[in-house]
Chains A and B, each alone.
Chain A
Amino acid sequence: MPTNSLSRRKFLQLSSLSGTALCLGYYFPLSADAAQILNASAEAAETEIELNAWISINTSGKVTIFSHRAEMGQGAFQAIPQIVAEELAVVLKEVNILFAPGDNRKYGSQITGGSSTVRSSYKNLLKLGATAREMLTEAASTKWGVSKTDCYAEAGHIIHRPTGRKFHYGELVVEASKLKVPENITLKPRSAYQLIGKPLKRQDTPLKTNGAAIFGLDKRIPGMLYASVERNPRLRGKVKSFDDTAARKVPGVKDVFLVKMKVFNTDREGIAVVANSTWAAFQGRKALKVEWDDSGFEHVNSEDIFRQHKEILETREGISFRKTGDPDPILKQGGQKIDALYQTPYQAHACMEPLNCIAHYQGDKLEIWGPIQGPDWVQDYLSEEMGLKRENVIVNMTFLGGGFGRKAFMDYPYEATLISKQIGGPVQVVWTREDDLNQGPFRPGVSYRCEGMVANGEISAFKVRMAGQNIDHFSDDKRGEANSSATEGFLESYFAHLKNVSFADVPFETPIPIMWWRSVYASTNGFAFESFLDELALAAGKDPLEFRRVHLQEERLQQLINKLEAVSGWKSRKKNEGYGTAITECFGSYAGYVVKVSRNAENKVQIDQVWAVMDCGWYVNPDTIRAQVEGSVIMALGAATIHEVTFKDGLAEANNFYTYHMPRITDAPLVEIHVMENEADAGGVGEPGLPPFAPALTNAIFDLTGKRIRNLPFDLTSV
């Protein structure tokens, strides 16, 4: 079957690339500004750089492309080769794809976050493909003794136009690899693309329909044991004492010991149970008797957190983040004023694949295998923590069963490393679903106080204060500074139009570990801002879409609004139908939604249809965009109407899917997706579809019922 050409065996065979080949890759010198393309055989030897190529073509013409970013469902594994193959002029199906190990000197940043894979690398990738093609063309023209301009590349061959003679790439790589890397490469115009912009099939799909795809949890290393860790269920608590007598008697259990590590600048302590199967490790954990030491830690409760948010938002101005004009004097005048509090909950990432990681510590060397969003980060971090040379920390990638931000954090590879060091052999550390849901880090819960005034059908003052934990603090203590994401999600175009607008952050701390969650603060900001915009539109007596059209003058947004209006039938809506809209910006892309709701036979609110318009600028694969929007709708729906992480007495109450419910197929609404075509630069795809869904839904519910929803999550069935 042709679609199944990418078998597991082929991946393995390729792991030893040898023989003569043309290997091209970028080199990212740490200090220099511009990344440079290098030819492995010719130049890397001179500069003594070991070059791990992005493209490699061997003498049989086989093309291998290294994917330097994680594949966690978002389609990087498809997008990167699709870009390179376009300029390289090869058939995508005949290209082998390998995950590049962690090394940011070779691949540049590898962190899969901020929806950055395509937008941060596509120009380099295009150039790389084109450079290889040019070198092969030059090699062919020299071999034939003809002019280069009479030669062209197509489907893995260089063809001599006048005579129709052809060489396949494999016949040219020896000569090509001796050439100097040309400069001033001309790239194809978008109109000439044959692959980019087409809904080509994902290369990883066949591997994911027969169980062949290797996720972190599926990786096996000779001699590997399994481990699971009983961590203090109170966030950041310690171990006072433990009794492992019963645990050690569980058949298959090999060792039990305390693991201590720094996480988020505090200690995390737990008891590791090492065994010959995952289940034996889980059973061993159940048999442990542990006394925890929670002294010195605040035992947080959700109710207190959100009450405190409200209090500080009522009494403090906070740290100003961005201000144009001054909304305060206007808000003190009489008129159409709204003062609203929006609250959004803590959330878990709940990746389908629970966290896991294999580590093999060997004294002066460490090897890691796992579902990892930032292999280069893990390499840097572990070499520092373990006192190892950077190049002796090898971080191998697997497929990720979801990531959403959680798998960009280094705690689980670090923990696996400590356990491997202790037992002196390779080990796979497996988190249970319960660990995954109650240990965090979580998306922070955030509250927003929004005040606004309308005059003459427009916004005359707009003031937002947010209170919620600040993710910035965990990489670098930035106390005293406003949350740098205070306006994330809010369209820049509003700033161009609004005269008196201010955003401030009222600092708020708890010991709850927090982390990026798909679309980060846009996922909560977007709900508050776009709901509040709706409130202001209605106060001004305006149609919400029309109101946005007036306030968002940028051409791309005008086009997006026109599209939303046309596809959703916004103007021809009927009685007993609620329509709501929201538009947000996230990682360089614009996303707009219209949601239509009605009451069903049992008088319950139901979502009839969702229309999404995505403007990602330059894009690679429209089907990937659709898939990401479909997924974003479900994830946003879950966070808005189904689940939240609550805390009681310092414990996260989410435990497994019977307490942290997930959207299921029965919840999935009908979604129609439109992708805008324009000349704008590439924006993100994986995350921007998430933020506008919740406000579009609650705005629609207001339209239908007159009920304004300001707290998430809410129960759709009881509106």
Chain B
Amino acid sequence: MITLSVNKKTYQLDVDPNMPLLWAIRDVIGLTGTKYGCGAAQCGACMVHLNGEAVFSCVTPVSRAVGQQVITIEGLSAGNDHPLQLAWQELDVPQCGYCHSGQLMSAAVLLRENPNPTDEDIDQAMAGNICRCGTYSRIRKAIHHAAELQKNGK
């Protein structure tokens, strides 16, 4: 049995300790906001927070998350109102939307660590997340917008 804390809830899972966290979250716990894109730490669709750090859940064995705080896109905010979520909605960033759980989880760490990111900071922090629909210019704009919202205490 593996005990996991995901979005502040505790789960008991009967899974192989080597199962990647991604599949434990999606197929066993049933939270499908975290996406599979490559399974190889290449695309960032599977990004979650492990004790506040952005990790590729597709290459993180579930055993590594034991005793840690896992936050997924479903737990980023209670009301879909994290400054980044509001900015994403304001600028209609997603197209197909498949990559954006991961994009938001990466951006959330950036914005926490660097409340005033430049374009270069954004590019660097977001380079691990692929968007096949090509929403990159809106991602940049939305992160700047979210930084404003965060400053104004939204």
- Residue ranges of A at the interface with B (Cβ–Cβ < 8 Å): 1, 3-4, 71-75, 201-202, 204-215, 217-218, 220, 226, 251-252, 277-280, 282, 350-354, 399-404, 430, 432-433, 623, 627-628, 630-635, 656-658, 662-668, 670-671
Contact = CB atoms under 8 A, between A and B. Distances in A.
B40 A656 contact: yes
B85, B122, B129, B133: most-surrounded residue (chain A CB, <10 A): B133
A207 B96 CA distance: 11
A115 B80 CA distance: 32
B70 interface: no
A213 B43 CA distance: 19
29 contacts: A1-B80, A205-B97, A207-B97, A209-B85, A209-B88, A209-B104, A210-B73, A210-B80, A211-B72, A213-B97, A220-B30, A251-B16, A279-B23, A351-B98, A352-B99, A399-B97, A401-B99, A630-B134, A631-B95, A631-B135, A634-B133, A634-B134, A656-B38, A658-B42, A664-B126, A665-B122, A665-B127, A666-B124, A668-B137
A277 B123 contact: no
A262 B95 CA distance: 33
A352 B96 CA distance: 9
B88 to A, nearest CB: 5
Contacts of B16: 251-252, 280
Q: What are the 5 closest A-B residue pairs judged by CB atoms, nearest first?
A: A211-B33, A634-B134, A401-B98, A208-B97, A73-B96
A657 B135 contact: no
A211 to B, nearest CB: 2
Contacts of A671: 137
Given A217-B32, A277-B27, A657-B43, A4 B79 contact: yes
B89 A353 contact: no
A666 B123 contact: yes
Interface in B127-150: 127, 129-140
Interface of B: 15-16, 19-20, 23, 26-28, 30-40, 42-43, 45, 72-74, 76-77, 79-81, 84-85, 88-89, 92-101, 104, 122-124, 126-127, 129-140
B98, B122, B127: most-surrounded residue (chain A CB, <10 A): B98
A211 B101 contact: yes
Contacts of B138: 627, 630
B97 A668 contact: no
A212 B135 CA distance: 19
Contacts, number: 194
A665 B126 CA distance: 7
A220 B26 CA distance: 10
B113 to A, nearest CB: 17
Given A352-B43, A671-B137, A657 B38 contact: yes
B80 A214 contact: no
B19 A279 contact: yes
Given A665-B127, A671-B137, A210 B132 contact: no
Contacts of B28: 277
A657 B44 CA distance: 11
A671 B95 CA distance: 17
B42 A634 contact: no
B31, B39, B140: most-surrounded residue (chain A CB, <10 A): B39
A353 B32 CA distance: 13
A347 to B, nearest CB: 12
B132 A214 contact: no
Given A631-B95, A671-B137, A211 B34 contact: yes
